Amino acid sequence: MAQAYINLGLVALAQSDVETAADCFQKSLVLGERTANLWVVAQSYTGLSHAALEHRDFFAAQALVQRSLTLYQQMQDRDGMADCLLLMSQIAQETGDIPAAWQYLEQAEGFIRASENGFRAARALYRQAEILLQEKEFVQAQEVFWETMHHPACEQHIRHRAAMARAPGSAVDAFPADRGWRAIEHAVARQAH
What does each of the 193 residues of the chain score in pLDDT, given as a tens digit?
888 999 999 899 888 999 999 999 999 999 999 999 999 999 999 999 999 999 999 999 999 999 999 999 999 999 999 999 999 999 999 999 999 999 999 999 988 887 777 778 888 888 888 898 888 888 888 888 888 777 787 777 667 666 665 655 544 443 344 444 455 555 555 554 4
Q: Are 57 and 16 in contact (CB under 8 A)?
A: no
Instruction: Tell me how far apart the alpha carbons of residues 125 and 105 are, in angstroms, rounded to a whole number.
Output: 9
Q: How many CB atoms lie within 10 A of CB 148?
A: 23
Count Cβ neighbours within 10 Å for each residue of 32-64 and write b for 16 or more, e otherwise.
beeeebbbbbbbbbbbbbbbbbbeeeeeebbeb
pLDDT attached to residue 173: 42
DSSP 153-165: HHHHHHHHHHHHH
Q: Residue 177 carries which DSSP code?
A: P
Q: CA distances (Å), 139 to each of 51, 81, 101, 185, 193, in order?
A: 31, 30, 19, 9, 14
